[in-house]
């Protein structure tokens, strides 16, 4: 079931003509139960809204409803059908799809539920439907969905800006969003994708990317099926300048419990999704209100609008709260220029603030002439340090807020900067609220959502300047690396031994601390003397992935005599700790002094495949959880952004008197690990370099854990 208009190698993605055909059927078969008591004119009115006048009823009992025939089978319809809407018993769906195939129907929407969402028995029936559809080349929408994709959504009284294309993997979660039309928000189409047997969310993101009636793409997602298709869709949205705002469920760490490495614990599935979203500038939100209001702001605010805000209200308290929430959301609230303040002071008394926030004292709205009220808007909007005017209406105050709303609507198209409004009161039966909604003013119900959305808008504008395609990473293993990968042995994922890990890492140019593997106390003493004291000694065993946690690492071993004693101690301790442990010997390693400890690793996501992680490392890696994750492929700019986005990045810049770190060398390590992961493919389960010590010149991996598939 491949799209008819998908991108091919070497060509740009194309508009989804297959979905244009799906959304604009020539004729529709409505298969399933029918209301035989309905009057024909009621049926025509009911079905005509979504299907026009070319629809046909199909029910096993046949007959007619007035002058409307009811066909027993799809194959009985004496016309070409391009879409069938199937709402029959779960066990009858495959047979119905077969009938559609025999009649040449190219698209089937399966309303029926009771498939994979109810367990394995339903999943088996769903697979049967899929096999039947593939046999006849039918594209399937659903099952477990509805016909809201064909719903004619109401237009708000005045549309300001563009429309939102909405994709939801839950029909119920989509309804409150499209009810945002009551709030002045416009939608092009709402697509609830159901179980996604064939057509999935990514298909419709790509469709909306090329839809001229859609300015912003919004979605409620529970999971993704095809990473390559999702990347193609997001890239299409980027190239077409369509922001994507997403509410993605699953932000817990479920699914990482069985991970062996720090990387596996830190890079849960949600972290990988977060990394993918970062690559494509997807704006992530956390609840339905935020999804609706953020997408609406993106649809209504002119592209390129900056993020510096002037806060304007009728209360000093409101202004103070607005300023605090704005700052906590990362939205700049610059002090207005002396010239702007002087102009405002001619109309606003000295005891009210005009520096930003601006407080008009409320009575100004009913006592000042309209020219003065307009002058305030003009002055703050003309200030060279202001990009957006945010007006806070915290309480519904009858005449005052009604007048303020009237002024906003009267002036919004004349002032030179965009105006955004918050209506914080639960009392929405006010004329002022209706005035704002009817005018399509960008409107929020809370300061938090308002300023978070403005911050997201600014971040998106910045990200959009670096949107790009990422080339696939080479998938070839260097000589010797393939042999090293197989040294793990066993039928289950297991850690590689010390020697095999080193050979694999060195084959990708990853710098490692100088070391050797001693097999006796005497050899440990000779090797330590050769490397140079002090040295680090650690047990070499794939059965102890976290050696320091098990007390199997010794730092600052300073003499040959100490090296002999430590060798014996580590082997005995490991033997006592785990009977039958595979002990290869003891690693003798140069002790890397100074620098900043980081972590670099790879984890394998069940959907997105290999993902690379970098973060603040050392023994506190899992406590700090200061990490950035990206699924492959990545490029150098990705690696740089990952490092620079860490909370611990200032440590590499020499914060608090520390030695500056070689950021380029750390980026090189991240890219080397990414190339390793791409080349190893499914054979690499996890990789952990912790710590990677970043020094003034260069970076070196001090400890490693490589887990390979059985």
List the single range of 50-64, 463-477, 631-645 with lowest mean pLDDT: 463-477
In DSSP terms, which residues pair with 455 in a beta bridge? none
- Residue 109 has a pLDDT of 98
Specify the pTM. Answer: 0.90
The 10s digit of each residue's pLDDT in 235-284 is: 999 999 999 999 998 765 543 333 444 444 454 578 899 999 999 999 99
CATH of 514-590, one of 2.120.10.30, 3.30.70.1450, 1.10.1200.10, 3.30.1490.20: 3.30.1490.20
CA dist 278 → 243, 266, 459 (Å): 13, 17, 10
- Reported as a single tens digit per residue, the pLDDT across 545-601 is 888 889 999 999 999 999 999 999 999 999 999 988 999 999 999 999 889 999 999
Q: Long-range contacts for 102-105 (Cβ within 8 Å, ≥24 apart)?
A: 102/74, 102/75, 102/136, 103/74, 103/75, 103/77, 104/80, 105/29, 105/74, 105/81, 105/138
What is the CATH T-level fold of the domain 309-441, as seen in this structure?
Answer: Rossmann fold (3.40.50)
Would the CATH topology of 17-141 be identical to that of 309-441? yes
Superfamily of domain 596-708: ATP-grasp fold, B domain (3.30.470.20)
Percent of the chain with pLDDT over 90: 84
Cα–Cα–Cα angle for 263, 269, 270, rounded to 5 degrees: 110
Q: Express each pLDDT in 76-133 by its tens digit.
A: 999 999 999 999 999 999 999 999 999 999 999 999 999 999 999 999 999 999 999 9
How far is Cα of residue 552 from the mean position of the Cα atoms in its chain? 40
* CATH number at 17-141: 3.40.50.720
Per-residue pLDDT, 549: 84
CA dihedral angle for residue 561, residue 567, residue 570, residue 572, rounded to 10 degrees: -100
Query: Is residue 353 a contact partner of residue 390, using CB atoms and an 8 Å limit?
Result: no
What are the residues whose beta carbons fall under 8 Å from the beta carbon of 28, sequence distance 6 or more?
51, 54, 55, 56, 81, 82, 83, 84, 85
Q: CATH class for domain 149-300?
A: alpha beta
* Cis peptide bond upstream of 334, omega within 30: no
**Banded model confidence at residue 657, pLDDT cuts 50, 70, 90:** confident
Structure confidence at residue 614 as a pLDDT band (50, 70, 90): very high
Transcribe 71-137 into DSSP letters.
ESSGGG-SS--SEEEEES-GGGHHHHHHHHHHTT--EEEE----SGGG-HHHHHHHHHHHHHHHHHT
What residues form DSSP beta bridges with 432? none
Q: What token pair was written down for 474?
A: 């080479």
Mean pLDDT value of segment 336-357: 97
Structure tokens belonging to residue 23: 């959304």
Report domain extents, the chain.
Answer: 17-141, 149-300, 309-441, 514-590, 596-708
Candidates 330, 324, 361; CA nearest to 345 is 361
How confident is the model over 470-491, as a mean pLDDT?
80
Mean pLDDT of 526-533: 96
151-182 residue pLDDT tens:
999 999 999 999 999 999 988 889 999 999 99
Task: Give me the pLDDT at residue 252, please.
Answer: 54
């Amino acid at each position: 079931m491949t799209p008819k208009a998908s991108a091919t190698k070497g060509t740009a993605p194309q508009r989804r003509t297959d979905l244009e055909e799906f959304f604009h059927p020539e004729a529709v078969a409505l298969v399933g139960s029918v209301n035989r008591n309905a009057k024909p004119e009621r049926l025509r009115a009911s079905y005509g809204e979504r299907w026009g006048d070319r629809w046909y009823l199909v029910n096993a009992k046949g007959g007619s409803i007035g002058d409307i025939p009811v066909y027993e089978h799809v194959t009985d319809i004496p016309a070409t059908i391009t879409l069938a809407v199937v709402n029959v018993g779960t066990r009858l769906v495959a047979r119905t799809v077969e009938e559609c195939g025999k009649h040449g129907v190219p698209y089937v929407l399966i309303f029926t539920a009771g498939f994979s969402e109810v367990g394995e028995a339903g999943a088996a029936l769903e697979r049967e439907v899929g096999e039947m559809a593939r046999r006849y080349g039918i594209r399937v929408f659903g099952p477990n969905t509805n016909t809201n994709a064909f719903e004619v959504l109401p237009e708000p009284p005045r549309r300001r800006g563009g429309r939102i294309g909405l994709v939801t993997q839950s029909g119920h979660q989509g309804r409150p969003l499209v009810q945002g039309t009551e709030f002045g928000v416009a939608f092009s189409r709402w697509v609830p994708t159901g179980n996604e047997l064939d057509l999935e969310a990514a298909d419709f993101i790509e469709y909306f990317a090329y839809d001229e009636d859609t300015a912003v793409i919004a979605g409620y997602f529970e999971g993704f099926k095809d990473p390559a298709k999702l990347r193609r869709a997001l890239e299409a949205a980027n190239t077409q300048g369509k922001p994507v705002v997403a509410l993605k469920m699953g932000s817990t760490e479920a699914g990482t419990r069985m991970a062996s490495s720090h990387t596996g614990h830190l890079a849960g599935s949600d972290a990988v999704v977060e990394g993918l979203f970062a690559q494509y500038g997807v704006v992530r939100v956390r609840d339905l209100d935020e999804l609706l209001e953020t997408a609406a702001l993106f649809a209504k605010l002119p592209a390129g609008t900056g993020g510096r805000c002037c806060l304007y209200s009728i209360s000093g308290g409101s202004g103070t709260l607005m300023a605090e929430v704005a700052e906590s959301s990362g939205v700049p609230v610059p002090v207005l220029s002396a010239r702007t303040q002087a102009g405002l002071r001619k109309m606003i008394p000295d005891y009210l603030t005009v520096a930003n926030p601006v407080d008009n004292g409320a009575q100004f709205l009913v006592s000042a002439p309209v020219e003065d009220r307009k002058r305030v808007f003009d002055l703050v909007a003309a200030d060279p340090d202001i990009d957006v005017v945010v007006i806070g209406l915290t309480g519904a105050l009858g005449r005052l807020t009604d007048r303020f709303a009237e002024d906003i609507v009267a002036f919004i198209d004349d002032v030179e900067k965009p105006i955004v409004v918050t209506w914080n009161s639960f009392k929405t039966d006010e004329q002022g609220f209706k005035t704002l909604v009817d005018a399509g003013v960008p409107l929020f119900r809370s300061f938090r959502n308002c300023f978070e959305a403005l911050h997201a808008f600014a971040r998106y504008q910045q990200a959009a300047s670096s949107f790009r395609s990422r080339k696939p990473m080479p998938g070839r293993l260097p000589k010797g690396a393939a042999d090293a990968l197989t040294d793990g042995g066993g039928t289950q994922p297991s850690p590689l031994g010390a020697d095999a890990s080193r050979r694999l890492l060195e084959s990708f140019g990853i710098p490692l601390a100088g070391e050797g593997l001693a097999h006796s106390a005497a050899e440990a003493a000779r090797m330590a003397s050769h490397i140079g004291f002090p040295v680090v000694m650690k047990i070499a065993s794939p059965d102890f992935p976290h050696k320091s946690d098990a007390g199997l690492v010794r730092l600052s071993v300073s003499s040959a005599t100490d090296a002999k004693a430590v060798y014996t101690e580590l082997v005995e301790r490991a033997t006592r700790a785990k009977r039958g442990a595979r002990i290869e010997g003891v690693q003798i390693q140069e002790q890397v002094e100074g620098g900043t400890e980081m972590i670099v690793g790879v984890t394998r996501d069940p959907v997105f495949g290999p993902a690379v992680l970098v973060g603040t490392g050392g023994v506190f890696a899992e406590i700090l959880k200061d990490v950035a994750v990206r699924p492959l492929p990545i490029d150098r700019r990705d690696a740089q952004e990952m490092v620079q986005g860490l909370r611990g990045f200032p440590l590499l810049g020499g914060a608090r008197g520390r030695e500056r770190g070689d950021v380029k060398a750390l980026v090189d390590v991240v890219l080397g690990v990414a190339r390793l992961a791409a080349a190893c493919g499914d054979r690499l389960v996890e990789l952990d370099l912790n710590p990677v010590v970043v020094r003034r010149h260069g970076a070196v991996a001090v400890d490693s854990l490589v887990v390979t598939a059985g």
